[in-house]
Amino acid sequence: MELLFLGTGAGTPSRQRNVTSIALNLQGVRGGCWLFDCGEGTQHQIMRSQVKTGKIDKIFITHLHGDHIFGLPGLLTSRSMNGISETLTVYGPAGIKAFIETTLSLSGSWLTFPLDVVEIEAGELFNDEHFRVTAYPLTHPLACYGYRIEEHDKPGALDAARLLADGIKPGALFQRLKSGQTVTMENGRVVKGKDYLGPPTKGLTLAIFGDTSPTPAASELAANADIMVHEATLEAALEEKANGRGHSSTVQAATAAKQAGAKRLIVTHLSSRYLREDGERLLAECRAIFPNTEMAYDFSVFRF
């Protein structure tokens, strides 16, 4: 899997940072791509990236501020114009359905694909064969959520040599045993797949925060996460200003990662007041608290 940051700015776009959108490429686990927020200009950023619009099957909106949703109507209509027919699911706070329906209606737009809009509350959103996704409420002027994505553990490797030694021949039976099934053979022998599997591979956990000032939910949302993505809108000296607008400073983002026991922190959502050359200074503020911090720029890719 990998995270591709399509926009890493806060509030308004700048020459160096577009507003928020993050793509989670699910390669190696399942087909498709998930998008987290869709600020203005996101589809332009997509065209400059490896993301394929037709591969996006879920969009998670953290909240309804414009820098997180104003690119959504354009992306949906372009998807139709490109003849994409696969279902798309959009998750977001109450009001996201009205926003989509109103913008499409007033602009005379229509969709050629099934669109499922799910207005969320805190709690589990879904739990399929690959992932469990849970929404956590954050602290912001509008209802805002962070998303915890937990990959299920993968079964251990099948001990084929031991199966052969026990007189079990390779073939379709091996696939069933690899999935952990219990199989009754023609001679009546019962073979339990779990007896021939190595230790499972632990799945990855990602915590993707929306906009927030320091919040008690952070420790649960990002508890022991392999990857934590958190806003760092302003530097430590402007912490009071950041908090007054429902945002966090560099130091507060790093502190949240440390308290949650996260393994790796990626900071994003930087104010347009900062230029690229300011990045190292802001990153140093984070690393003084949480050394394993990286900063996202537009088109940064983090593989894991």
Query: pLDDT value at position 197?
Result: 78
Q: Was 269 annotated as part of a binding site?
A: yes
Instruction: Check whether 68 is labelled as a binding-site residue.
Output: yes
- pLDDT tens-digit readout, 231-263: 999 999 999 999 999 999 999 999 999 999 999
The answer to whether the annotation marks 44 as part of a ligand binding site is no
Q: Is 37 a catalytic residue?
A: no
Rounded to the nearest 10°, the torsion over CA 55, 56, 57, 60 is 160
Q: What is the pTM of this model?
A: 0.89
**67 is known to lie in a ligand binding site:** yes
pLDDT confidence of residue 28: 74
The most distant pair of C-alpha atoms in the chain lies apart, rounded to whole Å, by: 75
Residue tagged active-site, from 37, 57, 67, 166? 67
Strand extents, DSSP E, the chain: 2-7, 9-10, 21-25, 33-36, 56-60, 88-92, 115-119, 123-127, 131-137, 145-151, 182-184, 190-192, 205-208, 227-231, 265-268, 270-271, 293-295, 301-303
Residue 56 confidence (pLDDT): 96
**Known binder of ligand: residue 247?**
no
Cβ atoms within 10 Å of 165's Cβ, excluding its own: 9
Position 161 scores a pLDDT of 83
215 class by beta-carbon count within 10 Å (0-12 exposed, 13-18 middle, 19+ buried): buried
Residue 95 Rama label (left phi>0; alpha psi -120 to 50; beta): left
Instruction: Give every residue of the chain whose pLDDT is below 50, as ranges.
Output: none
79 vs 94: CA distance, rounded Å: 24
- For the chain, the structural domain boundaries read 2-154+201-303, 160-196
Cα dihedral 26, 48, 207, 213 in deg (nearest 10): -170
The CATH number given to 2-154+201-303 is 3.60.15.10
